[in-house]
Amino acid sequence: MKILEDRIRQDGVLKPGNVLKVDNFLNHQMDIALFDEMGKEWARRFADKPINKILTIEASGIGIAAIVSRHFGNVPVVFAKKAKSINLEGDVYKTKIESFTHKKVYDVIVSKKYIGPEDHVLIIDDFLANGCALQGLIELVQEANATIEGIGIAIEKGFQQGGEIIRSKGIQLESLAIVDGIDDASGTIKFREQ
C-alpha cells in the first residue's frame, strides 16, 4: 500500500538491530486519516469474506481495529487483554504469548461471551515479526470454534518468520507494507513488491 510505505519512509525511524520505529503515526501517536485508508484497503482485499467481528490485542492494535470496523459495517471489535483483570470475570479463552520486545511471557485472554462458533473473524494488528502474538490470537479464535476469515497487518517484517508461518496455515494474511530489509546506516528500507 503505497501511502503506508511512503509514510514509513518519511516518518519511520531506523535503529540498529532491524528496529523500525513508527510511533509517530502508528503505535503511540495515531494518524486516524491513515487508519481510515488502511481500513478501505482491507475492505477491498477481504470483500468476499462474511466478516462479522474484528479481534485485536491491546494496546497498539485497538485504534487501528476501531477505525477499520467502520469499513466492515461497524462490526464489533474485541480486544484481547494481556493480563487477568479482576473486572473481567467469568469464563475466558486464554493463551500465552512471548514478547521479544518486552522479553517476557504473558497471558492473553478473551471473554467467552464475545467470541463463539457463529463468528467470522478478521484479526487486526499493527506489526508482524516473529508472529508470536498473532499465533496466540489464532489459538484464541480456534478455541472458540470461530472462523478466521483473514488477518490484516499494517507492517510485516518480511525478513522474520511470522508471515511465512501464518501463510503456511492457509490463512489469508494481508500486510499493507512488507519490509524485506532495513539498513539503518544508510537509512534505507526495502519493501516487498505487492
Question: From CA 6, how far away is CA 49, in angstroms rounded?
Answer: 28
Q: Is the dihedral angle over the CA atoms 54, 137, 49, 6 positive or is it negative?
A: positive
Beta bridge partners of 155: 127, 177
Q: Is 37 in the site for a second copy (CB under 8 A)?
A: no
Instruction: Find the binding residues for a second copy in span 6-25 (CB under 8 A).
Output: 19, 21, 23-24
Nearest distance in Å: CB 167, a second copy: 25
Measured CA to CA in angstroms, residue 10 lies from 34, 47, 77 at distances of 14, 30, 30
- Cα radius of gyration (the chain): 16
**Site string (81-120) toward a second copy, x via CB under 8 A:** x---xxxxx-----------xx-------xx-xx------
**Would you say 102 or 168 has its CB closer to a second copy?**
102
Among 40, 45, 49, 70, binds a second copy (CB under 8 A): 70
159's enclosing H/E stretch is none
Subset of residues 121 to 160 that bind a second copy, contact rule: CB under 8 A? none
**Cell 491513515 appears where?**
34
The amino acid at residue 93 is Y
Least Å from the CB of residue 100 to a second copy: 10
> Cell triple for residue 103?
522479553
Question: Closer to a second copy at the Cβ: 154 or 194?
Answer: 154
Write out the residues near a second copy by the rule CB under 8 A. Answer: 19, 21, 23-24, 28-33, 35-36, 58-59, 62-67, 69-70, 74-79, 81, 85-89, 101-102, 110-111, 113-114
